[in-house]
Amino acid sequence: MNPVRRPYPLILAMLLATGGQQAFGTSSATEPAESRFSGAAVCVAVLEREVKSSLHVDPTPQEREQWQRRLESAFAHIGNAYLSGLSGNEGKALLRSTEAAVAHWPEQRLKPQVQTCHDQGQALLGQAMGLQKMIVRNSAERLLNKELAKLPRTGAR
């Protein structure tokens, strides 16, 4: 199971409880879910792919900070989509199919999309209230720590 999807229910419940719809904005309910949320799914998938592909043992503080911010942007997109009406099962299916498509993207397509999605995610996070920001940041940090812990350690320390 993809670890980015695991914390959704808790994060989303907390965001909803804090009035996240005003902070993250809402989308039109008349569009089909797939088209309404495809941009968010692409952003989550490209940000996740970029972070996971660059992880390595013993990162510098600057690398950790960059990875953390990218994951925060992904979580901001997730929160925005769910607060705008995307259901849990619908979101999981959309993200799975989008991740499969993004996995085949060439680097020259991926890099500009990563930066755009990161900028959008940081803007969404900038509009969030304090508790929402804390939840997103803590979730991103936990995910980063979990992914780093999965990396094989070579040699004695």
| Tens digit of each residue's pLDDT (9 = 90 or more) over 125-145 | 999 888 889 999 999 999 999
Q: Return the pLDDT at 20.
A: 42
Q: Return the pLDDT at 140.
A: 95
Q: What is the pTM of this model?
A: 0.77
Please report whether residue 73 resides in a domain. yes
Please report whether residue 64 resides in a domain. yes
Domain range for 114:
8-25+35-149
Q: Residue 5 to residues 11, 106, 109, 138: CA-CA distances in angstroms?
A: 10, 24, 24, 15
Please report whether residue 63 resides in a domain. yes
- Per-residue DSSP letter, 10: H
Percent of the chain with pLDDT over 70: 76
CB 81 within 8 A of CB 25: no
Cβ neighbours of residue 136 closer than 8 Å, sequence gap 6 or more: 11, 72, 75, 76, 79, 125, 128
**How many domains does the chain divide into?**
1
